[in-house]
Chains A and B, each alone.
Chain A
Amino acid sequence: MTRPLHVRLLRHLALAMLVAWSAFPIALVVASSFKPARDIFVHPPRWLFWPTLENYAGLATRWPDFFHHLANSAIVAAGATLLAVGASALAAYAYSRWRSRALTASAFSMIFIRLIPPIVITLPLFPAVNELALNDTHLVLVLLYATFFVSLGTLVLRAFVDQIPRELDEAAMVDGASPFGVFRRVILPLCAQGMVAVGVFVLVYAWNEFLFAFIFTTTRAKTAPLTLSEMTGAIDGVEWGVLFAATTLQLAPIVAIVVAAQRYLIAGLTAGATKG
């Protein structure tokens, strides 16, 4: 079916607007991070310019800790991802294959608990974390980030495990495998796609999260978004270039991961949204 010319033009216009809406703010900041200071505020913006790394050099001298905080973000995000994906896969296997009213009730409570807003639990956790001397540690963020994604993770992975024929479990069990053996040798390899999807969800959340990092970290475990927010508060019109360099370093790796994992994300979201 071919569409009339004006419909085609309108569709292209709409698509161009959507692309501009999504990509323009990102492209602007990334491009500006490579501009010399005098070009940043030129209006209309210059898309052809001689790229420079002076803003990145400025970042390294003005905010040397930022690189340390990027590393903290990586540690916390990796820890939370491993914990959330591992715990969710194990629970998803149990919920997919076994039944009892109590087990179903525990699956339901999982969804219910997930609805509680994160900021509410900072009140009791703040003194508790201090008491346990966990304040400003990677561990506290890993636990928080993993916890807020295990519900979704379990739902999504359950949808994936449901697709694996039960005959495969049974065959392995006849060969003498325990439930944990079946999990390791049959289930894990076959729901790898779902695990990638859930892993990316957690990774994006943990890499970017602001509220918990703001409340529970100060120096040692401080993550990159927190430093970015401090830089945003500190600028007086002159430091924009340095801020853009830091922003670019913070967003580049995670955007690359999301784009690379696009296929898995869509599969995971479909499984989570329609079955969960």
Chain B
Amino acid sequence: MSGWRAGPAQWAMVAPVQALLVGVIFLPSLYVFWLSLNKSSFGVDPTFVGLANYAEILSDPYFWRAFRNTVVVVLVVVHLELLLALGAALLFAGGVPARRTMIAIMLAPYAISEVAAVVMWRFMMDPQVGMVSRALAALGLPTLEWAVEPAHGLLLAGLLSVWLHLPFTFLILYSARLALPGDLYEAARIDGASAWQQCLRITLPLLVPAMLVAMLFRYVFAFRLFSEIWLITQGGPARQTEVMAVYLYLEAFRYNEFGLAAATGWLMVVASLLLAIPYLRQMYKRMFAPEGQA
């Protein structure tokens, strides 16, 4: 697609967006990099220490605990979510009664804040009065002791995260499924393919690109996980359920170790960009494609 040559008027048009991004995100994150090379705390002038902060956090067992927790939660949450979203998308594409209402219901958790979701899930999962806990107990199953058992705290935060973000992933996969050409299925039916074969040979392979996009997005965003953990366990007991963002927050705002927090932050930036490389490459190719091919 060709375009007119950009001039000063066009730069004026993109200026507000660019000013916000550069002023609020880009320059501060460069400053974080500089901060990560310094020893710094409240009321003390920063002193340059090179990579000492990185060395210190990389030898901190709590950092590695937070890192492991983050990786496990992200992997479980994103893949469980994709699986559920795929199932729901295929179910909805096959036709459901009262479609608009059903989609509105599927969409509702998207509108719920993390805090409100924590209220709901804590109430349902309360070891004493929660009805899910009571139902589990009545069935003779163990209940989630999320306040005392670190793995249970992480599991509850993960469940909550899936609940909050399923609508997004579901909508991406559902609209991708609806965009598949109908004549493919027509042809498959004429050739005598069963519904199961159509799903396996047509739907799933053609949905792979949309699933990869959804997965990448969710990796990058799930990696930022903060509120769910903070509101359920505050990283406790005994710092057992911290994730990267909680670790960073505590270093910065509880222990006032800005250098260490900055080093953690910069590692998070690098990790996010690495996760997003396939997406960035695809975008780069598309945007810088020669005229007429985009």
Contacts and interface: CB of A to CB of B under 8 A. Distances in A.
Interface in B186-208: 195
A15 B35 contact: no
Contacts of B176: 273-274
B14 A25 contact: no
Nearest to B168: A269
A146 B20 contact: yes
A243 interface: yes
A144 B25 CA distance: 9
Contact of A94 (B14, B106, B291): B14
Contact of A121 (B11, B14, B28): B28
A174 interface: no
A116 B120 contact: no
A262 B168 CA distance: 12
Given A29-B123, A147-B21, A14 B87 contact: yes
Most B C-beta atoms less than 10 A away, residue of A11, A100, A126, A237: A100
A116 B276 CA distance: 11
Contacts of B124: 25, 28
A111 B220 CA distance: 13
A171 interface: no
B112 A26 contact: yes
A107 B10 CA distance: 12
B102 interface: yes
A166 to B, nearest CB: 9
B231 to A, nearest CB: 6
Contacts of B269: 116-117, 120
Interface in B101-124: 102-124
A160 interface: no
B224 A43 contact: no
Contact of A103 (B10, B223, B284): B10
Interface string A1-45: 001000000010011001101110110110010000000010111
Contact of B17 (A87, A204, A232, A269): A87
B69 interface: no
B76 interface: no
B272 interface: yes
A89 to B, nearest CB: 9
Nearest to B20: A147
A225 interface: yes
A17 to B, nearest CB: 10
B129 A143 contact: no
Contacts of B68: none
Contact of B103 (A43, A96, A115, A262): A262
A120 B251 CA distance: 12
B14 A115 contact: no
A125 to B, nearest CB: 6
A255 interface: yes
Contacts of A123: 28, 32, 35, 252, 258, 261-262, 265
A116 B27 CA distance: 12
A244 interface: yes
Contacts of A273: 172, 175-176, 210, 213-214
A100 B5 contact: yes
A102 interface: yes
A98 interface: yes
B266 A104 contact: no
A15 B96 contact: yes
B245 A112 contact: no
A120 B70 CA distance: 16
Interface string B17-30: 11011101110110
Interface string B241-253: 0000100110011
Given A97-B3, A117-B269, A111 B283 contact: yes
Contacts of B107: 258-259, 262, 265
A273 B272 CA distance: 19
B6 interface: yes
Interface string B136-179: 00000000000000000000000000010011100110011001
Given A91-B14, A120-B29, A29 B120 contact: yes
Which 4 pairs between the two chains have the least Cβ-Cβ distance? A208-B113, A99-B3, A120-B265, A94-B13
30 contacts: A11-B91, A14-B91, A15-B102, A25-B124, A45-B131, A86-B16, A90-B14, A91-B16, A93-B13, A98-B10, A99-B6, A108-B287, A115-B276, A117-B265, A117-B269, A120-B248, A124-B32, A124-B35, A128-B28, A154-B17, A180-B9, A229-B118, A237-B129, A240-B123, A251-B111, A259-B104, A259-B107, A266-B103, A269-B168, A273-B172
